[in-house]
Structure 1
Amino acid sequence: MLVDSHCHLDRLDLSAHGGSLDAALAAARARGVGHFLCIGVSADNAAAVKSLAERYADVDCSVGVHPLDIEPGSAPALDWLLGELDHPRVVAIGETGLDYHYQPEAAALQQQAFRLHLEAARISGKPVIVHTREARADTLRLLREAALPQAGVLHCFTEDWEMAKAALDLGFYISLSGIVTFRNAAALREVARQVPADRLLVETDSPYLAPVPHRGKANLPEYVREVAEFLAELRGVAYESLAEQTTDNFRRLFPLAHVRG
């Protein structure tokens, strides 16, 4: 069984499945995907991801505000984050983090919001899902400052081994998406070979970043199978072994998730 550890079910392009989320999830299940973590990115979609987790037994969710969704003067309040986390299907906080690629001018505001999420993670005990892009030093600095007692994950990892090793040393997991299959991702593949087996997750980040051979199309949770198969071959292990290992890792990182099987 596989777990899609990071997908945006409320944002999928469902045209390939007749506009039906039920059909899209059924297609994923038919390919061995047994669980889905639907990710919150804003105050506006918190209700939507919780509703989806309540609707499907094999879906859990997270809540948080993506760094690119933060507007000046509207950083999330700690009380709001803690209130949203107090729900039986919310198993993690995020995605949160830093993204200087698109908004370098918002670095201070993003850091403020990231600290709030990390404090909410410390209080709640729920793992944090971290987005980081062109903000290596500040991401690691804030994670070190937070000194969370529980693990978290750097999702859709695209950075170098030095950053991966630093995150692993902090107890974090590394999640890889379809980007690892891209022709220009040789450096990331070197990282993917080195991540310890017990710290590796797989994800789609759908509807974004569809893996080869679906690149250029809307991504779907069923395509986490392509990510896992590619990583298994890259790492020289059987697909079944990698699927079992990454599912065990997901259970360990997200102990409140309702994973069956």
Structure 2
Amino acid sequence: MPDDRLAQAPPAPEPLPIPVVDNHCHLDIDRDGHAVDIAEQISAAARVGVNRLVQIGCDLGSARWTAEIIDQHPALLGGVAIHPNEAPGHETAGDLAEALTEIEALSAHPRMRVIGESGLDYFRTGPEGVGAQQESFRGHIEIAKRTGLALQIHDRDAHEDVLRILAEEGAPDTVVLHCFSGDMAMARECVRRGYYLSIAGTVTFKNARALRDALAVTPLEHLLVETDAPYLTPSPHRGQVNAPYLIPLTVRAMATTLNVAVPTLCEALSANSERVYGPW
């Protein structure tokens, strides 16, 4: 039988004392069969201290939608890219170059501040798709450098190749590891290179000890927070639909791991987000 609990929206957590940014969400994606009410999502987030969001479009359709929606809501900035799992399909169709050209054109919107999420995903795409993913990733790196926008990276089971390709191509000025999933050694290397680590609800999972260890060695000035909504809902609501208003659960878990006061962490997360993306 279906679990009715999973279909229910989790209750709002205690508001944060200082507003922060959800630096990666997908407001165009629904997981419960109902269209997302964008205005209500933004309002619910603001009520708990999440007053700015970065909407990420990761295929051509969602990228075009993102370019439209960020004009309608001042709380939103945008990011656009071809997700690594989409790249093999474009290669097969022979239009990867054209898709990247459109992504760069969409990124010219003044409220578009991110090229991403691009990167590598060796979990869902087999060896036959690796070449297309790497070609697409290199193309996005170049777009980020040409436009001066932050690069948000999707990295799943591909840590070594992500770092290698960034070194080979020369990283953009601002690099964000979206939903960081590396270990302590990778966290230290990313910090050494000046990258930002964006922490998602996975940090609250019982089996995420390695991620918490990585977080613990990361300086505050290199940290961001995200939902990746509607995915990766933090505990104790894991498995339910995620939304930006649940960010406080992740922030408080981060503060516990880092052994810092919640207001101190909120101040750092807000300042880092403005440094990465500019003013809203």
Instruction: Map residues 115-194 of structure 1 onto 2, 5 A cutoff.
Output: 115-194=138-217
Amino acid aligned to 1:56:
H
Tell me if the contact between 1:62 and 1:91 (Cα under 8 Å) persists in the aligned partners. yes
Partner residue in 2 for 1:239:
262
Structure 1 partner of 2:9: none
Q: Which residue of 1 aligns with 2:83?
A: 66
Distance 1:143 1:238 in 2: 34
Give the root-mean-square deviation of aligned CA atoms: 1.7
Q: Distance in 2 between matches of 1:149 and 1:13?
A: 33
**Shift of residue 13, structure 1, vs aligned partner:** 4.6
Instruction: Provide TM-score, normalisation by structure 1.
Output: 0.93
- State the number of aligned residues: 256
CA contact (8 A) 1:153 1:174 kept: yes
**Is 2:69 the partner of 1:47?**
no
Q: Which one of the candidate residues 228, 238, 243 is aligned to 1:215?
A: 238
2:54 matched to 1:37?
Answer: yes
**Long gaps (5+) in structure 1:** none
4+ residue stretches of structure 1 with deviation over 3 A?
12-16
Of residues 6, 22, 25 in structure 2, which corresponds to 1:4?
22
After the TM superposition, which of the residue ranges 20-29 and 150-159 deviates more from structure 2?
A: 20-29
The CA distance in 2 between the partners of 1:15 and 1:111, in whole Å, is: 33
| 1:94 maps to 2:94 | no
Q: Would you say the 8 A contact 1:36–1:60 is kept in 2? A: yes
Task: Give me the whole-angstrom Cα distance separating, in 2, the residues matched to 1:3 and 1:243.
Answer: 9
Alignment CA distance shift 1:161-1:19 (3 Å): closer
**Aligned: 1:111 with 2:128:** no
2:96 alignment partner in structure 1: 75
Gaps of 5+ in 2: 1-18
Aligned equivalents of 2:120, 2:67: Cα separation in 1: 24
Report the TM-score, using the length of structure 2 for normalisation. Answer: 0.87
